[in-house]
Amino acid sequence: MARPIVTFSSLREAEDNRQGRSIDEVAFQLDEQTSLVNADDVKVITRPGVHGFELVNPELLDCKSRTKTSLEKAYRRMFKACMERCDNDLLTVEARIASLKRSLAIPNEDIPHMGPPANERNQVIQQVMYLPSLYGEFPRYEYAPNPNIPFREPFNVNDRPAAINRDKLSQKAWWKVNLTFLETKKKVLEEMKIDLERKLTAAMEIAMEAPSFLGCGYTDYSFLHT
């Protein structure tokens, strides 16, 4: 009489099904959806011989074991690359933040001059506003064959320092908003790194512990992660 073959997916199931049976009365078959962790437990107690319970599909066990080892190696490479990328992004942002903080510490009088020379400030063709309450939403363009639009005179000597000071204030306001964005980016990157680490670890646990067809046959173990 042929021995019955019991399909199992964990050592506990094997132990439960061998109760009261000798090696001549039952053989075992590993389920193709056995988790990699459970298959590894079986692999530890499986070796060539004749005095144990026969495993009728050792090839499947070997594939599961090879897959577990390959996944662990691939995961380590991916995890290391992901963390290095996060760290490099953070280092870059931190360097930019430090640079902006140094710029913001510069006294106003030492900020390089921007814009036209002081004696040309506000020297432009006259500009006028067409208020909607008087001219409607779409005012007509002015037209004349020979337009005679006056020029504004540049700021006088007394007004020039205030104009130059506004340049300094505007520059520092620009640096401040740049710093705000970078500090926000840094915070998000730090949170993202923690979240990425947590979720990658959880995904790895699922891949190792959940029943699946992972490792149920020969596989190309190429692993894309960048």
Domain check: are 97 and 31 in the same one? no
Total domains, the chain:
2
Q: Which of 34, 58, 33, 60 is nearest to 47 (CA)?
A: 58
Cβ-based neighbours of 71, under 8 Å, separated by 6 or more: 36, 204, 207, 208, 214
Average pLDDT over residues 81-102: 97
Domain check: are 106 and 193 in the same one? yes
Domain check: are 42 and 147 in the same one? no
Average pLDDT over residues 199-212: 98
Domain check: are 46 and 152 in the same one? no
Is there a domain that residue 186 lies in? yes
Average pLDDT over residues 71-97: 97
- Higher-confidence residue: 221 or 140? 221
pLDDT level of residue 2 (50, 70, 90 thresholds)? confident
Alpha-carbon dihedral sign for residues 192, 197, 200, 202: negative
Domain check: are 88 and 26 in the same one? no
pLDDT at 1: 58
Cα–Cα distances (Å) from 129 to 21, 48, 150, in that order, read 99, 94, 15
Write out the residue range of the structural domain in which residue 35 sits.
Answer: 5-56
Domain check: are 127 and 176 in the same one? yes
Cβ-based neighbours of 146, under 8 Å, separated by 6 or more: none
For residue range 7-20, list pLDDT tens digits in order. 999 999 999 999 99
